[in-house]
Amino acid sequence: MSASLSRRAVLLSPAVSAIPAASPAAPVVNAAEHAWLANARDPRFRIDADLATCPTGLPRHDYSAEYLLSEMKTYGVGHVVISHVCYYGRNNAYTSHCVKTYPGKFAGVGLLVGHRLFPPADAQNASRLERLIKDDGLVGLRLSPIYDRDVKWLNDPASYPLWKMAEKLGAVFNIFLAPEQVGQVADMAARFPGVNVVIDHIAMIDIAAPDSAGFGPLLDMARLPNVYVRTSLHNPSKTRQTPYRDVWPFLRRLYDRYGPKRLIYANFFEFLIMKEMIQFFTPDDREWIMGRTAHRIYKFP
């Protein structure tokens, strides 16, 4: 199946329609989409290259809350977690706007600390997180040590106050990291068990590498009940061809170790793969993976 195959074509295939879908009563949550306004006239939502953590790849088109709502309607998704996009950097205003403008539809995960953001040792980070959650309506942060492979800060004691505040507030941390950084997450998840941790993009594992290069430690981290894994199959895939079958054996190993209640689906373009095509998921498994778990940890009403 080629990468250009449309999502609707996948939906119409006989192999997909033969597999039972989840109960319509179960919440369906897309646990990671970005949102931005590249052409915003409102100064609050203009993209500023000086703040962006990805200043060389700024968009020319919008990917707005309203567009997300239209996609949600198309796919029957009830809620979306907006992972604050790198284009805005530490200005979380648009994500906050989306959450407050469409209550119950979106949850927001912000950016504050790390590469081109506030330094991890900044004494104000904990209070910034508190304001982001209490005033701006977000539910947590995305931490991305993957951009700082030569600087070890995630489990440095300088980060403890931020995690302590997250534990106090019941915040969730999405973590985008390289395989060799998994041990840092394990340290912090064990030290702060009140913080729910979601590993983004299956820790960017190299599926051609031995387990010792990162996937083994990720499996071992299943011993920590506050750790979850987001099933972004496209990132580890070597073929880059939907439905990313080369990653399915690794998904099965995650499923066997973490169980369905700690796997979280994300991305519209993987919706049908996760909902309809993975044959080792039971209908009950799908309800948890497609939304029940995300609905709880991202605090949807």
| CA 131 – CA 273 distance, rounded (Å) | 37
Helices (H) and strands (E) in the chain, counts: 12, 8
Q: What is the pLDDT along the chain (301 residues), one digit of tens a residue?
A: 333 334 444 433 434 334 444 445 899 999 999 999 999 888 999 999 999 999 999 999 999 999 999 999 999 999 999 999 999 999 999 999 999 999 999 999 999 999 999 999 999 999 999 999 999 999 999 999 999 999 999 999 999 999 999 999 999 999 999 999 999 999 999 999 999 999 999 999 999 999 999 999 999 999 999 999 999 999 999 999 999 999 999 999 999 999 999 999 999 999 999 999 999 999 999 999 999 999 999 999 9
What residue type is 38 in one-letter code? A
The per-residue pLDDT for 41 is 85
pLDDT at 25: 80
Phi, psi of 32 (to 5 degrees): -165, 105
- pLDDT at position 299 is 98
Residue closest to 293 by CA, chosen among 173, 164, 167, 198 = 198
Query: Edge-to-edge, what's the strand order for the sheet holding 79-83?
Result: 29-33, 79-83, 106-110, 140-143, 172-175, 196-199, 227-230, 263-264
Q: Where are the domains of the chain?
A: 43-297
The pLDDT score that the predictor gives to residue 14 is 38
Residue 285 has a pLDDT of 98
User: Cα separation of 143 and 265, whole Å?
Assistant: 19
Pairwise CA distance, residues 207 & 199, whole Å: 16
Which CATH number does the domain 43-297 belong to among 3.20.20.140, 3.20.20.10, 3.40.50.280, 2.20.25.650? 3.20.20.140
On whether the CB atoms of residues 114 and 64 are closer than 8 A, the answer is no
Distance CA 273, CA 277 (A): 5
The type of residue at 74 is T
Whether 213 contacts 179, CB under 8 Å: yes
Structure tokens at 301: 């009403």
- Tell me the DSSP string of 236-276: T-SS--TT-GGGHHHHHHHHHHH-GGGEE---GGGHHIIII
Encoding tokens for residue 146?
Answer: 């993957």
The candidate with the shortest Cα–Cα distance to 62, out of 83, 88, 36, is 36
pTM of the model: 0.91
Report the Cα 30 to chain-centroid distance in Å: 9
The secondary structure of residue 124, as a DSSP letter, is T
